[in-house]
Amino acid sequence: MHAEVDALVIGAGVSGLSTAICLQEAGLRVLVRATQPPERSTSMMASAMIGPSFAAPGDPALGWHRETVRRLTPDTPGVRVLDGRMAARPAGMVPPGVERFEGYRPCRPEELPEGYGTAFWVRQPVVDMPPYLRHLADRFTAAGGRLVLEPVRSLDEAAEVAPLVANCAGLGAAELTGDRQLKPVRGPKIVVANPGIEHFFIEAPLGPIWAGFIPHGDRVVLGGTHRDSADTTPDEAEAAEIIRRCAVVEPRLADAPVLEHSVGLRPGRPAPRLELEKLGRARIVHNYGHAGTGVMLSWGCAREAADLLVS
Ligand X SMILES: Cc1cc2nc3c(=O)[nH]c(=O)nc-3n(C[C@H](O)[C@H](O)[C@H](O)COP(=O)(O)OP(=O)(O)OC[C@H]3O[C@@H](n4cnc5c(N)ncnc54)[C@H](O)[C@@H]3O)c2cc1C
Closer CB to ligand X, 78 or 172, in the complex: 172
Q: At closest approach, how far in Å is the CB of 91 from ligand X?
A: 26
Closer CB to ligand X, 99 or 138, in the complex: 138
- Picking from 86, 208, 191, the residue whose alpha carbon sits closest to that of residue 129 is 191
Q: Considering Cα of 76, then 77, then 80, then 86, what sign does the dihedral take?
A: negative
Question: What SS3 state is found at 301?
Answer: helix
DSSP state at residue 192? E
Q: At closest approach, how far in Å is the CB of 49 from ligand X?
A: 4
Please measure the distance between the N-terminal and C-terminal CA atoms of the chain and give it in whole angstroms. 21
Q: At closest approach, how far in Å is the CB of 8 from ligand X?
A: 10
Closer CB to ligand X, 189 or 283, in the complex: 189
DSSP state at residue 257? P
**Helix 129-142, helix 14-25: angle, nearest 10:** 30
Q: How far apart are CA 61 and CA 298, in angstroms?
A: 10
Question: What SS3 state is found at 178?
Answer: coil
Q: At closest approach, how far in Å is the CB of 32 from ligand X?
A: 8
Q: At closest approach, how far in Å is the CB of 3 from ligand X?
A: 21
DSSP state at residue 49? B
Closer CB to ligand X, 70 or 91, in the complex: 70
Closer CB to ligand X, 28 or 61, in the complex: 61
Closer CB to ligand X, 112 or 139, in the complex: 139
Q: How far apart are CA 70 and CA 67, in angstroms?
A: 5
Give bridge partners of residue 203 from the DSSP assignment: 87
Site for ligand X, rule CB under 6 A:
10-16, 33-36, 41-43, 45-49, 151-152, 168-172, 176, 187, 189, 223-224, 264, 266-267, 288, 290-296
Q: At closest approach, how far in Å is the CB of 144 from ligand X?
A: 20
